[in-house]
Amino acid sequence: MDKPPSPSLLPPPGPARPVLVGFSGGLDSTVLLHLLACAAPTLHGGLRAIHVHHGLQAQADAWVRHCRAVCADWSIPLQVVRVDVDRTGGGGPEAAARSARHAAFAAELRDDEVLALAHHRDDQAETFLLRALRASGPDGLAAMRPWRRHGRGWLWRPLLALSRGELLAHAQRHGLRWIEDPANRDSAPDRNFLRHEVLPLLRRRWPQASAAFARSAALSAAAADLLDEEDARALAGARGDDPRVLDVDVLARLPAARRARVLRRWIEACGLPPLPATGVDRIEADLLRAAPGDEARFAWSGAVVRRWRNLLHAGRQSAPLAAGWRCPWDGSVPLPLPDGGLLQLEGAAGFDDTLVVHARRGGERIALPGRKHTHALKHVLQDAGMPPWRRERLPLLSSAEGRLLAAGDRILSAEFAQWLGARGAKLVWSQIAQAAAPPGHGSPAH
């Protein structure tokens, strides 16, 4: 294989790491694979490729054969992954295919491996314009970052400084072969409309339009990074021991623009879906300005932020435990709860007798450690500062005779606390797992 004429076209991704190339067989990813194949012996800790078979085009099987042939010629291992594209979502077939592709990339990426994608300067210009048309701020206008953490490894876009024309010239100079996806000629999708209709018109008047948009994206990224540093400090100041809880008074002292950024960053850190366009305004109006006793809430996409006392709580929406629900449990294996939570005994093989896990019925009393009398569970939970929606989901653990032993994993009876302590064991109530932040930011894959 011929060496590329200018190795500096390809910046190294930092310390030598194995590289996984997203290889569609198109022009852009073919040039990227060629450049990496030439540089791999000295710059990287191994090179392989992945081709995602969407099954959306009649030529899809032929594209797989083409990719296999190219990788065989260049002695590059190729992984072909077939995916089912969910077309029932509201984002359209392009978005569904992109989502399936990124899921396949994430599943295949190994620990500390680098996923290399072939986005170039013209792609960056398109992304910048799409974000601007959606009224994005600096974070959105930063468009595609050249290097960032991704899943178990890293995401690298080494071609962002190059135009598609430069990639085409390189491919022609080296006699590379690539495939053309007919879907790329369809101007109906927004990105293709910008690519075929808008940007050529802009470049007729301003030849450097794509470079200017890409430069604006880079400047936005620099500004977003500076804002992020202050956002992180402000968020840390508003959070306590529980990362899903924010102090309303601390938030109120922040400037409105900073508070909006902190709220979005907090929601992302909690693994919840991004706030909708009106989300910050709703939290400001309905929660931050609410009286401390109002128990105001804002819900979206299965997530919810609640105001209770002087705190904001973020989490997934969930139903309370059914009033009549009960289940025998010996503690030997974790117990799944009806709301998706889990109750488990750690540090012991099981209880001495089978106990009963059940929902609250009202009127329960518990004998706390160091107390001579029993206390109403209702008052104990209030004194412990447990929010009302958590009380509704609280699993209770009782003996077969009906003595209340535990409410969740924080409220323990004297009898049960002694039993756990003698064995070095503990009761753990795991609530519904938080979802991970959605990968990717709507950028195209090549």
Its pTM stands at 0.68
CATH of domain 220-316: 1.20.59.20
Q: Give 222-231 contacts, CB < 8 A, sequence gap 24+.
A: 223/138, 223/142, 224/138, 224/139, 224/142, 227/138, 227/139, 227/261, 228/265, 230/258, 231/258, 231/261, 231/262, 231/265
**Strands 303-308 and 147-150, how do they pair?**
unpaired
**Strands 411-412 and 78-82, how do they pair?**
unpaired
Q: Where along the chain do its domains lie?
A: 7-189, 220-316, 326-430
Residue among 428, 366, 361, 360 at smallest CA distance from 394: 360
pLDDT band at 38 (very low <50, low <70, confident <90, very high): confident
Spatial distance between the Cα atoms of 109 and 184, rounded to a whole number of angstroms: 27
Encode pLDDT of 319-335 as tens digits. 888 989 999 999 999 99
Encode pLDDT of 257-299 as tens digits. 999 999 999 999 999 999 998 999 999 999 999 887 777 999 9
The token pair that represents 168 in the structure block: 């085409």
Q: What is the mean pLDDT of residues 192-202?
A: 94
For the cut 90, the answer to whether the pLDDT of residue 90 exceeds it is: no
Q: Is 24 annotated as a binding residue?
A: yes
State the burial class of residue 93 (Cβ atoms within 10 Å of its Cβ: 0-12, 13-18, 19+). Answer: middle
394 Cβ partners below 8 Å, 6+ apart?
321, 359, 360, 381, 386, 407, 408
272 Cβ partners below 8 Å, 6+ apart?
303, 314, 315, 316, 434, 435
> What is the pLDDT, as a whole number, of residue 9?
55
CB 265 within 8 A of CB 227: no
CATH of domain 7-189: 3.40.50.620
pLDDT band at 443 (very low <50, low <70, confident <90, very high): very low
Q: What is the mean pLDDT of residues 139-161?
A: 90
Q: Is 220 annotated as a binding residue?
A: no
Q: Is 29 annotated as a binding residue?
A: yes
Higher model confidence: residue 242 or residue 431? 242
The lowest-confidence range among 3-12, 238-247, 367-376 is 3-12
Q: Is 242 annotated as a binding residue?
A: no
Tokens 């006392």 correspond to: 309
Average per-residue pLDDT for the chain: 88
CB 262 within 8 A of CB 233: no
Tell whether the torsion through CA atoms of 213, 217, 222 and 223 is positive or negative.
positive
Neighbours of 151 (CB within 10 A): 18
Spatial distance between the Cα atoms of 241 and 211, rounded to a whole number of angstroms: 46
For the cut 70, the answer to whether the pLDDT of residue 21 exceeds it is: yes
DSSP characters over 30-62: HHHHHHHHHHHHHH-S-EEEEEEE---STTHHH
Region label for 98, one of left (φ > 0), alpha (ψ between -120 and 50) or beta (otherwise): alpha
Q: Is 25 annotated as a binding residue?
A: yes
Q: At what angle do helices 27-43 and 60-73 cross, to 10 degrees?
A: 30
Q: How far is CA 195 from the centre of its chain?
A: 28
> What is the pLDDT, as a whole number, of residue 130?
94
Q: Is 408 annotated as a binding residue?
A: no
Encode pLDDT of 241-267 as tens digits. 889 999 999 999 999 999 999 999 999
Spatial distance between the Cα atoms of 83 and 97, rounded to a whole number of angstroms: 9
DSSP characters over 348-405: SS--SS-EEEE---S--EE--TT-SS-EEHHHHHHHTT--HHHHHTPPEEE-TT--EE
